Structure 1
Amino acid sequence: MIYSKNSSYHMIDQHFKPFVLTGYEYRTEREKQFDLKRTVIDIKINFEEKAVEGKVELDLKLNSLPQDHLEIDAADMEIYNVSINGQPVKFESFPEKLFIYGDFKAFGNYLLTITYKAYPRRGGYFVEDPEGIQFWTQGEDTDSHAWFPCFDYPNTRSSYEIRVTVPLGYTVISNGSLVDKIDGDFSTFVFKEDFKFPSYLVSVIAGKFAETKYEWNEVPIHSFYAPRYADNAERSFKHTPEMMEFISGKTGVKYPYSRYSQTCVSDFVYGGMENLSATTLTDRTIHDEIAHLDYQSENLICHELTHQWFGDFVTCRDWSQAWLNEGFATYMALIYMEKLKGKDEFLIDVQNHKDVYLNEFNSDYARPIVERKYKDPAELFDRHLYQKAALFLRYLNYYLGDDTFWAGVKQYLETNRMKGVSTEDFRSALSSVSGFSLDSIFHQFVYEPGHPEFEISETTSKGKVTIKISQKGMIYNLRVPIKIYLEGNTEEQDITIDQEVTTLELEKKGFKAFSLDPESRLLKVTEYERPREETRFILENGGTVLERGDAAAELSKYGPSEIPFLMDVFSNEKSWYVKGRIASTISKIGGERSISSLVKLLDDPDYQARREVVKAVATVQSDKLLKKLKEMFSIEKGYHIRAAILTSAQKTGKEDSRELLMNGLKIESYDDVIRIAALNALGELGDVSTLKTIREFYSKKYRWQTRAASVRAISKLYWKDRTIGKFLLEALEDSYFAVRISAVEGILATGDFDVISKLSPYLSRETDGRVRRAMREALEYKGPQESIELKSLKEQVDKLKEKVSNLEAKSKTRK
Structure 2
Amino acid sequence: MNQRFLSIVGLATAMAFAGGCATNKEATKASKDTTKTSKAAVAQDGVPVWAPKYHEFNPSRTKKHDLLHTTLRVSFDWKKQHLHGLAELTLKPYFYPQNTLVLDAKGFDIHNVNLMKGLDGTALKYTYDGQKLTIDLGKTYTRDQNYTIEIDYTAKPNELASGGSDAITEDKGLYFINPLGEDPDKPRQIWTQGETEASSAWFPTIDAPNERMTQDIYITIDKNFTTLSNGTFMYSRQNADGTKTEYWKQELPHAPYLAMMAIGEFAIVKDKWRNLDVSYYVEPEFKNTAKKIFGNTPEMMEFFSKKLGVDYPWAKYAQVVVRDFVSGAMENTSASTFMEDLQLNERELLDKNWDNIIAHELFHQWFGDYVTTESWANLPLNEAFANYSEYLWAEHKFGADEAAYAQMDELNQYLEEAETKREPLIRYRYGDKEDMFDSHSYAKGGRVLHMLRKYVGDEAFYASLNRYLTQNKYSDVEVAELRMAFEEVTGEDLMWFFDQWFLRPGHPELKVSHTFKNGQLSLQVQQLQDTTYSPVYRLPLKVAVWTNGKRTDYPIEITKADQSFTLPVTTQPQLVLFDGDQQLLGTVAHEKSQEELRYQFYNSKQVMAEYEALTELSKNAASEVKLLQDALNNDFWFIRTMALNGLVDVKPAAHPAIVSKVKQMAREDKKGSVRADATLLLAGWGGENYKAIYEEALKDSSYLVVAAGIIAYAGTGAEDTKQKLSKFEKEENEEVSIALASFYALQGGPEKYNWFVEKIKNSKSSGKYYMLQSFAAYLASNGSTNTPQTIDMLADIALNNNLYYVRMAAFQALMVMSDKPEVKERLEKIKAQEKDKRLIEMYNQAL
TM-score normalised by length of structure 2? 0.81
Deviation at 1:457, TM superposition (A): 3.2
Structure 2 counterpart of 1:481, one-letter code: K
The answer as to 2:591 corresponding to 1:524 is no
Name the SS of the counterpart of 2:731 in structure 1: coil
Which of these residues, 261, 265, 282, is aligned with residue 225 of structure 1? 282
2: CA distance, partners of 1:446 / 1:689: 56
Does the 8 A contact of 2:53 with 2:430 survive in 1? no
Residues 726-765 of structure 1 mapped to structure 2, 5 A cutoff? 731-740=797-806, 742-743=808-809, 746=812
Structure 1 residue aligned with 2:153: 116
Structure 1 residue aligned with 2:238: 183
Structure 2 counterpart of 1:410, one-letter code: N
Aligned residue pairs total 772
Structure 2 counterpart of 1:113, one-letter code: E
Structure 2 residue aligned with 1:127: 177
2: CA distance, partners of 1:697 / 1:24: 46
Structure 2 residue aligned with 1:70: 101
Structure 2 residue aligned with 1:50: 81
Structure 1 residue aligned with 2:761: 700
> Judging changes above 3 Å, is the alpha-carbon distance between structure 1 residues 572 and 66 closer, same or farther for their aligned structure 2 residues?
closer
Residue deviations 1:3-62 (CA, integer Å, cap 9, x gap): 374612352134587579999644322334311111111112344543321300111112
> Judging changes above 3 Å, is the alpha-carbon distance between structure 1 residues 460 and 747 closer, same or farther for their aligned structure 2 residues?
farther
Name the SS of the counterpart of 2:576 in structure 1: strand
Structure 1 residue aligned with 2:262: 205
Structure 2 counterpart of 1:732, one-letter code: A
Name the SS of the counterpart of 1:603 in structure 2: helix
2: CA distance, partners of 1:315 / 1:50: 31
The answer as to 2:538 corresponding to 1:477 is yes
- Residue range with higher mean Cα deviation, 386-395 or 72-81: 72-81
2: CA distance, partners of 1:45 / 1:163: 12
Does the 8 A contact of 1:323 with 1:385 survive in 2? yes
Name the SS of the counterpart of 1:582 in structure 2: helix
Does the 8 A contact of 1:313 with 1:417 survive in 2? yes
Does the 8 A contact of 1:697 with 1:707 survive in 2? no
Residues 335-484 of structure 1 mapped to structure 2, 5 A cutoff? 335-362=392-419, 365-462=421-518, 464-474=520-530, 475-484=536-545
Structure 2 residue aligned with 1:331: 388
The answer as to 2:65 corresponding to 1:34 is yes
> Judging changes above 3 Å, is the alpha-carbon distance between structure 1 residues 703 and 566 closer, same or farther for their aligned structure 2 residues?
closer
Does the 8 A contact of 1:553 with 1:582 survive in 2? no
- Residue range with higher mean Cα deviation, 589-598 or 296-305: 589-598
- Residue range with higher mean Cα deviation, 719-728 or 583-592: 719-728
1: CA distance, partners of 2:815 / 2:591: 37
Does the 8 A contact of 1:46 with 1:52 survive in 2? yes
Does the 8 A contact of 1:728 with 1:746 survive in 2? no
Structure 1 residue aligned with 2:31: 7
Name the SS of the counterpart of 2:574 in structure 1: strand
Over the matched positions of the two proteins, sequence identity in percent amounts to 26
Structure 2 counterpart of 1:238, one-letter code: G
Deviation at 1:399, TM superposition (A): 0.8
2: CA distance, partners of 1:615 / 1:498: 49
The answer as to 2:597 corresponding to 1:560 is no
Structure 2 counterpart of 1:472, one-letter code: L
Which of these residues, 525, 540, 543, is aligned with residue 605 of structure 2? 543
Does the 8 A contact of 1:84 with 1:111 survive in 2? yes
Name the SS of the counterpart of 2:443 in structure 1: helix
- Residue range with higher mean Cα deviation, 555-564 or 172-181: 555-564
Residues 616-627 of structure 1 mapped to structure 2, 5 A cutoff? 617=681, 622-623=686-687, 627=691
Structure 1 residue aligned with 2:700: 636
TM-score normalised by length of structure 1? 0.84
Deviation at 1:206, TM superposition (A): 1.7
Deviation at 1:153, TM superposition (A): 1.5
Name the SS of the counterpart of 1:456 in structure 2: strand
- Residue range with higher mean Cα deviation, 243-252 or 570-579: 570-579
Residues 113-262 of structure 1 mapped to structure 2, 5 A cutoff? 113-121=150-158, 122-128=172-178, 132-185=187-240, 186-262=243-319
2: CA distance, partners of 1:23 / 1:438: 26
Structure 1 counterpart of 2:646, one-letter code: T
Does the 8 A contact of 2:210 with 2:255 survive in 1? yes
1: CA distance, partners of 2:500 / 2:94: 37
- Residue range with higher mean Cα deviation, 100-109 or 320-329: 100-109
Residue deviations 1:292-317 (CA, integer Å, cap 9, x gap): 23211322222111111111101111
Structure 2 residue aligned with 1:606: 669
Residue deviations 1:708-767 (CA, integer Å, cap 9, x gap): 1133345678999999999977643132214446439959999x9x99999998688656
Name the SS of the counterpart of 1:82 in structure 2: strand
Name the SS of the counterpart of 2:332 in structure 1: coil
Does the 8 A contact of 2:286 with 2:343 survive in 1? yes
The answer as to 2:134 corresponding to 1:99 is yes
Deviation at 1:566, TM superposition (A): 2.4
Structure 2 counterpart of 1:123, one-letter code: G
2: CA distance, partners of 1:668 / 1:64: 62
- Give RMSD over aligned pairs: 3.9
> Judging changes above 3 Å, is the alpha-carbon distance between structure 1 residues 592 and 377 closer, same or farther for their aligned structure 2 residues?
farther
Q: Which has the higher contact order (CA 8 A, sep 6+)?
A: 2
Name the SS of the counterpart of 1:509 in structure 2: coil
Deviation at 1:691, TM superposition (A): 10
1: CA distance, partners of 2:340 / 2:253: 28
Does the 8 A contact of 2:698 with 2:710 survive in 1? no
What residue ranges of structure 1 are gaps of 5+ in the alignment? Answer: 789-815
Does the 8 A contact of 2:50 with 2:422 survive in 1? yes
Structure 1 residue aligned with 2:560: 499
Residue deviations 1:437-462 (CA, integer Å, cap 9, x gap): 22222222223333223333344445
> Judging changes above 3 Å, is the alpha-carbon distance between structure 1 residues 82 and 655 closer, same or farther for their aligned structure 2 residues?
farther
Structure 1 residue aligned with 2:573: 511
Deviation at 1:174, TM superposition (A): 1.0
Residues 561-710 of structure 1 mapped to structure 2, 5 A cutoff? 561-567=623-629, 569-570=630-631, 572-587=633-648, 593=654, 597=658, 600-604=661-665, 605-608=668-671, 610-611=674-675, 613-614=677-678, 617=681, 622-623=686-687, 627=691, 630-631=694-695, 633-644=697-708, 663=726, 666=729, 668-670=731-733, 672-679=734-741, 696=757, 699-710=760-771
Residue deviations 1:55-81 (CA, integer Å, cap 9, x gap): 001111124555564322222332211
1: CA distance, partners of 2:58 / 2:794: 33
Deviation at 1:170, TM superposition (A): 2.3
Does the 8 A contact of 2:710 with 2:725 survive in 1? no
1: CA distance, partners of 2:588 / 2:743: 33
Structure 1 residue aligned with 2:19: none
